[in-house]
C-alpha cells in the first residue's frame, strides 16, 4: 500500500507499507519510526564553503564522521577525505 | 580548524567564475565558484523546505546564514529490532538512494533526502521490499505515519497520524495501482 499525501504547503510525500493478506503477520509498517529527533539544528538555507589549496580540500560540509577507518563511506554518500572548515579569515587589499 | 589565505605574490592569473546547482544527498545546492585551476573557492547555499518540490526563488537579503553544524548524532537509525514484527523477519538489507548501507541495522548521519529501501527476508524465506522517502536534517514539512489493520474478514483499514502540517488530499494505491483519493 502506498499513501501519497498532498500537503497544503505544497509538499507531497509518499509512504509505503507492506500488508500481508495471508494473515501470517509478515507485514511492514512505514519507516517513520526510524527517524530520530533533530538535535543539531536544521540545514535549511545553510551556507557551504569549500576551499581547495595545494591539493587539500577544506569544507564546511564535514563528512568525516561518515567514513570508517578503512576510508570507505558508511552511509552511501559522496565522501572524500577532507578537513572540517569552521572559520575563515581573508587578508589583503581590495 | 581555521583557514588563512593571503595573496602574497600578486601576478596576472586567470580566474574562472562558475555558478550552478547540484544535488547533495538529494538536496538542491546553489553555488558560485572561483578557480584559477589550482586554488578554488566555492560558496553555496542549501535549499530549504526540501519536501516542497516547486518553490519560488529565495531571496536571502537581510538574513543571517550559518555554516551547517555536523550532526553529533545520527539522523536515522534503521533497525530491524524496531520493527514491530521483527520476529517474522530473518534478515534484511538497507539501501539509501540505491546504495547498500547495512544489514539489519544502519545509521544515517548526513542531512539529505533519502529514498530508503528495506529488503526483507521473512521467516518463510519469502522476499519483499518497500521504499520510503525520508527527509533528514531539514525542516520536516511532511511529518506523518501510515498505519493499517487487517481484520479477520479481510477488511483493510488504513489511517495516518502525526501530521503537523495541514494536507489537502491523500491518494492511496495498491501495488502501484491507484484505488482512492480521500
Q: Which of B74, B142, B165, B175 to mutate to test binding with chain A, by most A CBs within 10 Å of its CB?
A: B142
Tell me what pLDDT residue B78 has: 96
pLDDT for A55-89, tens place per residue? 777 777 654 433 444 444 443 334 444 455 555 55
Q: Check if B133 contacts A (Cβ < 8 Å).
A: yes
B159 → chain A, closest CA residue: A3
Tell me what pLDDT residue A57 has: 73
Tell me what pLDDT residue B65 has: 78
Tell me what pLDDT residue B105 has: 96
Q: What is the pTM of this model?
A: 0.79
**Mean pLDDT, rounded, for A34-62:** 80
Whether residues B124 and A24 touch (CB distance < 8 A) is answered with yes
* pLDDT means over runs of 10, chain B (182 residues): 50 78 90 88 88 72 75 90 93 95 94 94 95 90 85 87 78 88 84
The residue extents of the domains of chain B are: 143-182
- The beta-carbon neighbor of B101 closest among A38, A76, A91 is A76
Whether residues B142 and A13 touch (CB distance < 8 A) is answered with yes
Distance from CA of A69 to the nearest CA of B (A): 16
Q: DSSP letter string over chain B? A: -EEEEE--S------EEEEEEEEETTEEEEEEEEE-SS-EEEEEEE-SSTT-SS-PPP--TTPPP-PPPPPSS-SEEEEGGGSTTGGGEEEEEEEETTEEEEESEEEE-S-EEEEEEEEEEETTS-EEEEEEEEEESS--S---EEEEEE-TTS-EEEEEE---S-EEEEEEEETTEEEEE-
Tell me what pLDDT residue A60 has: 73
Tell me what pLDDT residue B13 has: 67
Amino acid at each position: 500500500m502506498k499513501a501519497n499525501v498532498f500537503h497544503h504547503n505544497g509538499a507531497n510525500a509518499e509512504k509505503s507499507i507492506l500488508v500481508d493478506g495471508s494473515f501470517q503477520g509478515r507485514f511492514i509498517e512505514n519507516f517513520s519510526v526510524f527517524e530520530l529527533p533533530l538535535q543539531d539544528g536544521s540545514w535549511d538555507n545553510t551556507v557551504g564553503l569549500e576551499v581547495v589549496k595545494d591539493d587539500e580540500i577544506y569544507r564546511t560540509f564535514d563528512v568525516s564522521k561518515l567514513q570508517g577507518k578503512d576510508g570507505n563511506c558508511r552511509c552511501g554518500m559522496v565522501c572524500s577525505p577532507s578537513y572540517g572548515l569552521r572559520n575563515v579569515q581573508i587578508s589583503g587589499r581590495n | 580548524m581555521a583557514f588563512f589565505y593571503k595573496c602574497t605574490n600578486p601576478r596576472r592569473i586567470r580566474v574562472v567564475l562558475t555558478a550552478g546547482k547540484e544535488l547533495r544527498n538529494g538536496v538542491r545546492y546553489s553555488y558560485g565558484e572561483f578557480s584559477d585551476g589550482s586554488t578554488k573557492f566555492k560558496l553555496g547555499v542549501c535549499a530549504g523546505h526540501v519536501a516542497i518540490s516547486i518553490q519560488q526563488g529565495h531571496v536571502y537579503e537581510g538574513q543571517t546564514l550559518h555554516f551547517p553544524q555536523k550532526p553529533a548524532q545520527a539522523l536515522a537509525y534503521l533497525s530491524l529490532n524496531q520493527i514491530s514484527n521483527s520476529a517474522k523477519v530473518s534478515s534484511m538489507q538497507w539501501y539509501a538512494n540505491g546504495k547498500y548501507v547495512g544489514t539489519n541495522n544502519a545509521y544515517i548521519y548526513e542531512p539529505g533526502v533519502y529514498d530508503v529501501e528495506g529488503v526483507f527476508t521473512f521467516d518463510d524465506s519469502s522476499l519483499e521490499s518497500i521504499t520510503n522517502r525520508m527527509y533528514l536534517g531539514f525542516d520536516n514539512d511532511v511529518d506523518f505515519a501510515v498505519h493499517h489493520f487487517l481484520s479477520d474478514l479481510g477488511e483493510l483499514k488504513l489511517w495516518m497520524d502525526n501530521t503537523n502540517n495541514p494536507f489537502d488530499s491523500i491518494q492511496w494505491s495498491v501495488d502501484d495501482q491507484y484505488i482512492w483519493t480521500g
